Amino acid sequence: MKTLKSALSALSVALVVLSVSSAAQVRTADPVKRGLSRSEFPRTVKITDSVYGYEDFHSAGMVTVTLFVVGADGVLIADGQGSPAATQKLLDAIAKVTPKPVKWYIVGSDHGDHTAGNAVLPKDITFIVSPASKAQMKLDAPAMATNREVVNVGGIEVQAIFAGRAHTGGDLLVYLPRQKILFMSEVYLNRVFPAMRSAYPSEWVKVIDAALQMDVDLFVPGHGFIEEPKAAREELVEYQKALRAVIAEVNRLHTQGLSVDEAVKQANWGPYAQWYLAEQQGPIAVRKVYDEITGKLK
């Protein structure tokens, strides 16, 4: 009894079950405002018996999400974490759920905060990666030859889908058609100000349109928190609204003939100024949308 009890309490620290209640949850990417402390991370979020989210909180001040799928033949992960130590913690968390080996890795985002820990992954892991992300990561694996690749994770179908350029240009969506779950990686940054350092702003809006038209019950973000299904869809719509608002504001400033530096100073993000990282990401977004307007973004 004692052993079971301590085993259960050890589990309760690391594993939370995705809530389907409609209890009011503060909509924010800020863990503190959500009533969570740093010591609660990393944590595994059980979505179904075979599909899990994993949320870690890093020094950059943001939750980074990995999705992992446990099939009869092994484990597939979608995105990693940002350092070898952080990715090792992810592997340790997976090992608490299943003894099966990690065999597949879908590169949703090629950015370092999702890939810089890849050195600790099993050497024989199979990467599923878009051509653009393969080039960015200098990966020695074949890139996808089409825009959709199906992986059979032992009884569970997982699709890697390139639906267009968004946050990185090589963005892949990870779709489980039977479970109706869509992991969106950095295409969906839940309540985080649109981060555009390597983005394609207008194309990003269209990729979210495509996602919203898919048969999906639960949209999972790459940053910010995993929400219950209804809130997750509402927040994805809200995220697309934020992208559109940022693009519209920069277009307004450009139409006035402002230089890009002047536009950075005058940008008014309205409610999105309160979103996570707005101060840091606002100026980057102005420059990127200017590049798009002036045709510098190819």
Phi then psi dihedrals of residue 139, to 5 deg: -75, 145
Closest approach, Cβ 1 to Zn ion, in A, equals: 44
Determine what percent of the chain falls in helix, strand and coil, rounding each to the nearest 5.
40, 20, 40
Q: Whose Cβ is closer to Zn ion: residue 113's or residue 292's?
A: 113
Q: Whose Cβ is closer to Zn ion: residue 111's or residue 134's?
A: 111
DSSP category for residue 225:
P
Closest approach, Cβ 198 to Zn ion, in A, equals: 10
Q: Whose Cβ is closer to Zn ion: residue 208's or residue 258's?
A: 208
Q: Whose Cβ is closer to Zn ion: residue 71's or residue 201's?
A: 201
Closest approach, Cβ 280 to Zn ion, in A, equals: 13
Closest approach, Cβ 49 to Zn ion, in A, equals: 28
Q: Are 207 and 165 in contact (CB under 8 A)?
A: yes
Q: Whose Cβ is closer to Zn ion: residue 153's or residue 284's?
A: 284
Rounded-to-integer distance, Cα 189 and Cα 126, Å: 26
Q: Whose Cβ is closer to Zn ion: residue 137's or residue 156's?
A: 137
Rounded-to-integer distance, Cα 4 and Cα 1, Å: 5
Two tokens, residue 293? 């307007």
30 — alpha (psi -120 to 50), left (phi > 0) or beta?
beta
Rounded-to-integer distance, Cα 182 and Cα 196, Å: 22
Rounded-to-integer distance, Cα 130 and Cα 173, Å: 11
Closest approach, Cβ 186 to Zn ion, in A, equals: 5
Two tokens, residue 28? 């924010």
Nearest Cα to Cα of residue 133 among 105, 95, 154, 94:
105
Closest approach, Cβ 223 to Zn ion, in A, equals: 6
Closest approach, Cβ 168 to Zn ion, in A, equals: 9
Q: Whose Cβ is closer to Zn ion: residue 113's or residue 149's?
A: 113
Tokens 């058609």 label which residue?
A: 177
Compute the Cα dihedral for 145, 147, 149, 150 and give only its sign.
negative
H or E stretch at 11: helix 2-14
Task: Name the site residues for Zn ion (rule: CB under 5 A).
Answer: 111, 113
> How far is Cα of residue 97 from the mean position of the Cα atoms in its chain?
21
